[in-house]
Amino acid sequence: MELKEYIRINKTDCPEGCKFKNKNDLSIVLVPPPVNPKILLISRDPTLDFLSLYEYSRHYNLQERRGVLFGAGIPRLLILQVTRFLGRRDIKDLYRIFEIAYWTHFHKCPTDEKNKFTTICANRWLKKEINNVKVDRIRTIVCLGKDVENWVKSNIPDNIKIINLPHPSGRSHKWNNKDDAKILEAIKELLHVCRED
């Protein structure tokens, strides 16, 4: 199954034991993939705040919808954090994320403080996505946040490059440490991938 076919999953196929399976008011969040994905961008979970925009974006065709969701969501926040971290130095290539990244989530249903994410979702869906990225020739996974990083470490194929960055939300204070060599190296790797043809 190719990635573009995979994203047509439906909630009835969620694993038994998932506390979100029977919550019909919570949609599975699946952002349309680009035409030629090169990066798999994984954030932890969509929030309930994101859900209203996600539902509204259904008014658009797939590529317009993708642009709206990227422009209002985690990909945009990532670009803002990298820009601040580097002091607004040359990051124009980073905007290619809008064209080449397939953005997905560790946990597919929206969560909040009461409804915490679980690994049961990643064990079912994200594992399939990672296995399917080979089909679409994606060679880089960008993990945003420790939860994603820790899960991916033990569930990835050997031939995929992993770039680990802090989650770009305002809650992560790791971006404030401008001297963090790991973040700087990860940004350089990400920019390199964005520049490749």
By percentage, how much of the chain surpasses pLDDT 90? 43
- The DSSP-derived string for 104-168 is EESS-S-B-SSS---HHHIIIIIHHHHHHHTTTT--EEEEESHHHHHHHHTT--TTSEEEEE---
Q: Residue 189: which pLDDT band, with cuts at 50, 70 and 90?
A: very high
Over range 73-89, report the average pLDDT: 91
Model confidence pLDDT, tens digit, residues 104-143: 998 888 887 777 777 888 888 888 888 777 656 788 999 9
| 150-162 per-position pLDDT tens digit | 999 888 767 789 9
pLDDT 10s digits, 39-48: 999 999 898 8
Classified as helix, coil or strand, 40 is strand
What integer is the mean pLDDT of 17-21? 85
| pLDDT value, residue 1 | 41
Please give the mean pLDDT across all residues of the chain. Answer: 86
User: Which domains, from first to last, does the chain contain?
Assistant: 27-195 (3.40.470.10)
Q: How far is CA 167 from CA 54, 63, 120, 144, 173, in A?
A: 20, 25, 21, 5, 9
Mean pLDDT over 9-36 rounds to 83
Percentage of residues in the chain having pLDDT higher than 70: 92
pTM, two decimal places: 0.91
Alpha-carbon 37 to chain mean position = 13
Residue range 50-79: mean pLDDT, rounded: 93
CA distance 108 to 94: 25
Per-residue pLDDT at 99 exceeds 50: yes
Q: At 76, is the pLDDT very low, low, confident or very high (cuts 50, 70, 90)?
A: very high
